[in-house]
Structure 1
Amino acid sequence: MSIFSTKEYDPTEIELNIIIGSLLGDGSLALYGRSKNAYYREHGCDAQIPYRLWKSQNLSKLDFQFNIKYKYAKLYSHSHPLFTSLYNAFYINDVKTITETNIRLLSHPIGLACFYMDDGTLVIDSVKRKNGSIYIFPRISFYTLSFSEAENVILKDYFKSKFDVNTKLKYRKDGKNVILEINKKSDILNFINIVKPYVNEIPCMKYKADLEGRFEIKRLQLQKLGYNNINLWNEDLTNAFYTKEDELFILECKKAGLSNAEIARKLNRPYWGVVDKIRRMKEQQ
């Protein structure tokens, strides 16, 4: 018997959420043959090696391993009852399935960020108007095509209730015909604000949260094609999200001993957005 199968693991919320967020995306659990316990596994392209390395480092206390000797770099765990319990929670008839029960294990924005880095994309689109100008706009898509419409609805409702993230269903002809999408400006800003601290820890993933940089790239591409009348959607993308008055109010609330949840309620803003704003204000002091 492997020493890892008898070793006790007590994952932190951060560790568990990295695993759960990854299970919603590229990660999977396997239970084969005579093995009594399941194990975690995940493959990725070479360009994402730093991302898998980041995961393995954050999950090192759970004895996760990262090996680049395979054709595709592999992140994996040892067989263990911890992963068997997760397998039983997420797999129905050996098929990864989202339920209203197992989705509750996603409890921290780092898990949401992992799901986004695995299966999400930020696209900067453009459309030509009748007056000859070009309108640039972003959208965020989550490629949840392996999940049914009902499972996507569970994700949609949970993201709203837990993280105050608004998504909508978008229907396609491939996979199981449904993905999730964010296309409203305020909703995109809110989502990026929540996941950006974790996305920015991995250099190869920063482009997924860099609205300003992605807009500039798109603008330059359009200028090379001869378009000059291009909208400035990206002006004050972050600075306008919290006013100076908001920042002063937050400081006064913290001095008065109010919790982050209380401040979020008073500002009528998402809890995790306020948590990140306070973190960024501390870094700027």
Structure 2
Amino acid sequence: MLFIKKFDPVQINILFASILGDGEITKAYPNSRRKNVSYREHFSLNQYEYRKWKSDFFPEFLYFRKQKDTLVSKSSPIMTELYAYFYNSSGNKRIPPELLLYCLSPYFVATLYMDDGSLLVSKRINHKSQKIYLSPVIALYLQNYPYDDLVILSSHFDKHFKIKLRLQKRKDGHGFILRTSKMNDTLHFLKIIMEACRNCMSMYYKTNWEYRFQLEAKILNQQHPDYSVIASSSERNKNYTPVEIKKLAELKINGYTDQKIADELNRSYWSVVYKIAELKKKGHLESR
């Protein structure tokens, strides 16, 4: 394969992730004089620094057009070779399992995430204790790929990076994206890409949880000056102690709502809902 001779492993991982993400391989049109196709990546100017970070890995292959909003390559046999892997017979993008074997670097995860991912922040406010808990979630907006392709990609992430991603339904594209579902999975994802993203400061708002937390906390402190903003941790989702179970049961019997019980126990609302259902199923709590 030509790309193995041309690029080192880091370059291969960044290029493949870019093709799957924001980039594209141009199509060869009938009667065109060009024997080969090229790489192209269009972006908004506020993401120039990130694209500059990417292009610096390919000083002899990628360059910016004059408007500085498109990153391109010259026509190349390498891109012609890769087109057959990354596009199906209908000209739509696909995730090629045979090339994922080369995507074993954190740079692959980092680039795909910076291209098509978001760091979502969920908020839970405990008015009684005047505390606001923030929890990060990773989402990869790859809904333009079929369900089976995303299953292949999520399996690859799990096998080679120990990253757990689940498929979540959406109404657009092919109907699914990938996202984390647990706090530990999100933090592990960010840990995997940490070194790869260290020199791309313009993307810290989605790659650096400490940096993003400070941004969110600043806004919330202005909205709720008397509240403390706290980063949630997996400790808040640990197993219930016998004391907590006893208190939960007493509060439920005394008519407390699930949200008030969550506030009393310093647990999430859904954690309490699931625990109550579990206790009822085991006969430890009367159903009403």
TM bin, normalised by shorter chain, reads: 0.7 to 0.9
Deviation at 1:231? 5.6
Is residue 12 from structure 1 mapped to residue 32 from structure 2 by the alignment? no
Distance 1:170 1:235 in 2: 23
Distance 1:218 1:193 in 2: 20
Distance 2:225 2:93 in 1: 46
Corresponding residue number in structure 2 for 1:95: 92
Is residue 185 from structure 1 mapped to residue 208 from structure 2 by the alignment? no
Task: Check conservation: 1:122, 1:139, Cα contact below 8 A.
Answer: yes
What is the correspondence of 1:155-170 to structure 2 with a 5 Å cutoff? 155-170=153-168
Distance 1:147 1:227 in 2: 44
Task: Check conservation: 2:132, 2:230, Cα contact below 8 A.
Answer: no
Corresponding residue number in structure 1 for 2:47: 48
- 2:162 is matched by which residue type in structure 1? D
Distance 1:57 1:221 in 2: 34
Deviation at 1:198? 1.8
TM-score by length of 2: 0.72
Partner of 1:95: helix, strand, or coil? coil
Give ranges in structure 2 of 5+ residues lacking alignment: 235-288
Quick one: percent identity of the two aligned structures?
30
Give ranges in structure 1 of 5+ residues lacking alignment: 1-5, 237-285
- Bigger Rg over Cα: 2
Deviation at 1:234? 5.8
Corresponding residue number in structure 2 for 1:217: 215
Deviation at 1:104? 2.5
Corresponding residue number in structure 1 for 2:231: 233
Alignment length (residue pairs): 228
What is the correspondence of 1:22-171 to structure 2 with a 5 Å cutoff? 22-33=18-29, 34=32, 35-61=34-60, 63-67=61-65, 69-70=66-67, 73-93=69-89, 94-129=91-126, 131=128, 133-171=131-169
Partner of 2:6: helix, strand, or coil? coil
Task: Check conservation: 1:126, 1:134, Cα contact below 8 A.
Answer: yes
Q: CA RMSD in A?
A: 2.5
Deviation at 1:118? 0.4
